[in-house]
Structure 1
Amino acid sequence: MTYCVGLKLDRGLVFASDTRTNAGVDNISSFKKLHVWEETGERVITLLSAGNLAVTQAVVSLLDEHVSSGDGDRATLMTAKTMFQVARLVGSAVREVKAIDGEALGSNAENFFVTFILGGQIKGEEPRLFQIYAEGNFIEVGEDTPFLQIGEHKYGKPILDRVTRADMRLGEAAKLVLLSFDSTLRSNLSVGMPIDMLLYNTDTFSTDRQVRIEQDDPYFQKLSRGWSDKLRQAFSEIDEFDV
């Protein structure tokens, strides 16, 4: 399984994904699940993937092939005029892969379980954030809940629900996302480090704030220890239940 998060904030976008995939307790590997397409000064597009690894890789490869084909009659991630059109292209790629491989995968719907978080900015519009489903349809993030999660989301959701604000600084939001990952890593072995993270500042059209956070990363270790200490302190300071 996996865990991926995308936040849409006033200052830009924050993306993060783990890299673990497993087919049993003794078959664990790492694969990149954060994919970026960039044209300096014009567009930045980021795609996070969760679900059947073979299917998600096929979708990403198909999108790459369309970009590199040079077919002027076909819209691609690098020629679409809006992020809405990009979301439709990703949805179409999902359906195309399903049309090719769906029968071979069999009738079990879990074999084609995939979801994506798509976000980015194309010059002329604001940054946008979408969730794309296995059927190829999608939703766009709203103002009330400015974040999206896919994969093993339940452990990391409570802190996002409590703390996320649209006016957060991107560094502050990155701290929040890493705390969400820390909670997930502690409770679910199917999610694992390293964590790939991208912070995108509105109108920069640059992915220079991209990093991979390893297990021994000093900041992440300090964050995890500090959060545990603060939780224990807060717990001890709350009055005990009495009847």
Structure 2
Amino acid sequence: MTYCAALKLEKGLVFGSDSRTNAGVDDIATFRKMKIFEKSGERVLVVLSSGNLSITQAALTMVEQRFHHWEGGETLLSTPSLFDAARILGETLRDVQLREGPYLVQNNIDANASFLLGGQIQGEEPRLFRVYSQGNFIEATWETPYFQIGETKYGKPILDRVITSDLSLMDAAKSLLVSFDSTMRSNISVGFPIDILCLEKDAFSTRLRWTIEEDDPLFRILGREWSEGLKHLAAGLTGLPPPGSGRDRGLS
């Protein structure tokens, strides 16, 4: 399992991914889930992956080969829009699924895989897509400003309450890290290192990029401050009515 999330904001995009892959409690490894394709000053595309590792690796390798070597057809280097980039990624994933999926299913191996694709191409606004295992995809909107894949349920309540389109990239990145902290506290299949990338609108640069290791002191402070803040808020919440006041029915 893994956890990846990407946020669409007025000032740009924020991406986060963990690096843990497991095929059981005694078979755990580290594989980075963030892949960056860029052409200086013209485009930056970021892909986050979740699901069967062999499927996602094969699809990304094929996309990368097209990115560098394809002649006479569209690639992530030449496609005119993020929509077309999502289509290329989806078609590639579908091809891999058709070739490899049946053999995995025959051996009771989950062949599901999915991607988050976001970035900006010169002439377009920053865009964000979720690519499903079947190769189809949807685009983030201002009403739905973020996508998650993998182990999503523990971090989702945080993003639902905090993420708004006018949030700064740094505040969004901190909120995303809190969602990772909450996820890792509740699920051992998500783990370090965590990769964070902020793409500023119209900057076409990956300079705002961090790798968070397990012993990172600032991440530990962030998690501690979040926990202490929740305890403080819980202590200050309106309490239950006094027993026997007539308003306590149904509480027992």
After superposition, the C-alpha distances for 1:157-212 in whole angstroms (9 at most, x for unaligned) are: 00111111101110000010001111101111110111011100011111111110
After superposition, the C-alpha distances for 1:23-57 in whole angstroms (9 at most, x for unaligned) are: 11111111010000010110000000000011000
CA distance in 2 between counterparts of 1:232 and 1:104 reads: 50
Aligned residues: 242
Aligned to 1:57: 57
Task: Specify the SS of the correspondent of 1:111.
Answer: coil
1:24 aligns with 2:24: yes
CA distance in 1 between counterparts of 2:43 and 2:108 reads: 35
After superposition, the C-alpha distances for 1:76-119 in whole angstroms (9 at most, x for unaligned) are: 10010000000000001101111221232235786221111100
CA distance in 2 between counterparts of 1:30 and 1:178 reads: 19
1:234 aligns with 2:233: yes
Q: TM-score, normalised by structure 1?
A: 0.97
CA distance in 1 between counterparts of 2:167 and 2:105 reads: 45
Task: Specify the SS of the correspondent of 2:85.
Answer: helix
Matched to 2:66, the amino acid is H
Which protein has the larger Cα radius of gyration, Structure 1 or Structure 2? 2
CA distance in 2 between counterparts of 1:119 and 1:20 reads: 22
CA distance in 1 between counterparts of 2:155 and 2:87 reads: 28
Task: Specify the SS of the correspondent of 1:32.
Answer: coil
| Superposed counterparts of 1:6-25, under 5 Å | 6-25=6-25
Q: Tell me the C-alpha RMSD between the 2 structures.
A: 1.2
Aligned to 2:4: 4
Task: Specify the SS of the correspondent of 2:38.
Answer: strand
Aligned to 1:111: 110
CA distance in 2 between counterparts of 1:19 and 1:81 reads: 31
CA distance in 2 between counterparts of 1:27 and 1:106 reads: 20
Matched to 1:219, the amino acid is L
How far is the alpha carbon of 1:239 from its aligned partner? 2.8
CA distance in 1 between counterparts of 2:19 and 2:208 reads: 18
Aligned to 2:218: 219
1:40 aligns with 2:40: yes
Matched to 2:39, the amino acid is E
Identity %: 49
CA distance in 2 between counterparts of 1:208 and 1:219 reads: 19
Aligned to 1:156: 155
**Structure 2: runs of 5 or more not aligned:** 242-247
Matched to 1:52, the amino acid is N
Deviates more, 1:108-117 or 1:82-91: 108-117
Aligned to 2:244: none
CA distance in 1 between counterparts of 2:108 and 2:77 reads: 31
Aligned to 2:165: 166
How far is the alpha carbon of 1:240 from its aligned partner? 2.5
